[in-house]
Amino acid sequence: MVPILSPALVRAGAAAPAVSLPAPALLDLPETVLQFGTGVLLRGLPDFLIDQANRRGLFNGRVVMVKSTDGGDASAFARQQGLYTVCVRGVEDGRPVAENVVCAAISRVLSARSEWAEVLEFAANPALRVVLSNTTEVGIELLDGEDVHAAPPRSFPGKLLAVLWARFQAFGADPDRGLVIVPTELIPDNGTLLRGILRTLAERQALGADFLNWLDTANDCCNSLVDRIVPGRPADADRAALAAELGYQDELLIMTEAYRLWAIEGGERVRRALSFAPADPGIFIQPDINEFRELKLRLLNGTHSLSCGLAVLAGLPTVRAAMDDAPFAAYVQRLMLADLLPGIPYPIDESVGQRFGQQVLDRFRNPAVEHRWLAITLNYSAKLRLRVVPTLVHYCRQFGAVPQYVALGWAAYLLFMRGETQDEKGTWHGRLPDGTPYPINDEQAGYFAGLWRASAGAGAVVAGALQNSDLWGQDLTALPGFAASVTQHLATLLARGAGAAVETLLDQVGAAPIG
């Protein structure tokens, strides 16, 4: 019978050679982190990185998780005493990565609903110095009628303020007992937003001037950005195969890609508290993290948005399939590094941008991630406006030229948006060259269906779409040469297909690798 992952198994070293086990001493480290959330992103990135730092003696602390919702079953955490396996699969620096790591960062899990007194007791622990959270994008919100003295408060900010109030009562206004708070919710300026809500709640609850001053001066609420694909629990058949490979059963096992990024905004006090940062090159602590947000938005997200329609039209269903197609892979690389990187409307160090771009290309090549291009076309128009228009405009103004890979991607978008039929639910469908229909899940689908029907030729479609400032926030026909380039690429797509359009552009502009 295959054993279950447990501290006894770790202490006995009873796992297959393919598993990296923690040293038994790591199971006895003090609890120094309070974490709101038990989800796979937290376990696959921050908790994993804390475990890696503990192995190197750089942090020496474990995490107390707070389960804030009633959904899901936390009993597996109790059975395995917080241990779980992270199976890392992907590509890094062009080489395949396959690692199995037993993470020992989690000490215990507390239920906010039934064990709130224990949470507040931990809040008064002198060893506590860091708070982490991932409560989804709607978790950081200000609720009317919130009571921080409830057991527990309803919202995450209410619960966090109750923790801070308990700590203030235990230690008074001691500036050395403040906490470094790092929300990882995928919201721009998440720390700034959370800090504002905490202060508003404290004022509404009349917690006093001394507490407000301590809240402001002794605690750091850091903006952060996390990026790692963590698919989570694998399918049952895959879990059975992994159990045979690992030598034990693990109910909490998760899969992650190799790439990881955790950018945290802060100064020296934050750096001292987050002493795990030197353990991994994917962790950055610096005064301004907008560089990382821009790189992710413009290079990763922007490349996805400009490539998705072209890939679907070319008959390449997944990102991995596209990267296995040599001409399309060359297009993706040139789009990202020759057009989008120079066009980022934010000062970016060239070497940092090139390195980030190469990491994105590794992620696109990951055989363990099945990312379908059609899914990426969801809300296509809004994504182009947010992710690409600022880069396009900056590039045209900076260089006085048209970014041709962007122009081809834009032409493919216009062709993809040519809705020909509408189903009973109101969804428009386009049609591939072989006649296969595909859904157009975009708020502008009806507009583009009408534009294609009313327009005489590619040039009219391009002109009508680009000059629509309601779509883009400005008239894109004002960019010299852009409409003409998009029209030329659209004509090639209509006459010869997506694959030929890619190869034609590569022949004209060049397909040599960059960087």
Rg of the chain (C-alpha set):
26
Residue 511: which pLDDT band, with cuts at 50, 70 and 90? Answer: low
Share the mean pLDDT of the chain. Answer: 95
Average pLDDT over residues 360-366: 95
Buried b (16+ CB within 10 A) or exposed e, 93-114: eeeebeebbbbbbbbbbbbbee
CB 296 within 8 A of CB 231: no
pLDDT per position as a tens digit, 423-437: 999 999 999 999 999
**Is it the case that residue 514 has pLDDT exceeding 60?**
no
- pLDDT value at position 238? 87
CB 111 within 8 A of CB 122: no
Asked which of 34-48, 229-243, 275-289, 395-409 is least confident by mean pLDDT, the reply is 229-243
- pLDDT value at position 480? 97
Q: What are phi and psi of 404, to 5 degrees?
A: -70, -30
Higher pLDDT pick, 233 / 389: 389
Q: How far is CA 486 from CA 335, 408, 501, in A?
A: 15, 6, 12
Average pLDDT over residues 348-361: 94
pLDDT per position as a tens digit, 450-498: 999 999 899 999 999 999 999 999 999 999 999 999 999 999 999 999 9
- pLDDT value at position 42? 96
User: What three-state secondary structure class fits 43?
Assistant: helix
CA atoms within 13 A on the CB side of 443: 7
Residue 369: which pLDDT band, with cuts at 50, 70 and 90? Answer: confident
Q: What are phi and psi of 438, to 5 degrees?
A: -140, 145
- pLDDT value at position 336? 98
% residues pLDDT > 70 (the chain) = 98
pLDDT per position as a tens digit, 102-154: 999 999 999 999 999 999 999 999 999 999 999 875 689 999 999 999 999 99
Count of CB atoms situated within 10 Å of the CB of 386? 15
Average pLDDT over residues 95-108: 97
Q: Which residues contact 452 (CB under 8 A, 6 or more apart)?
A: 417, 418, 419, 461
What is the rounded CA–CA span in Å between residue 364 and residue 42?
22
Q: What are phi and psi of 419, to 5 degrees?
A: -75, 130
- pLDDT value at position 509? 83
Q: Which domains does the chain have, with CATH numbers?
A: 7-286 (3.40.50.720), 291-509 (1.10.1040.10)
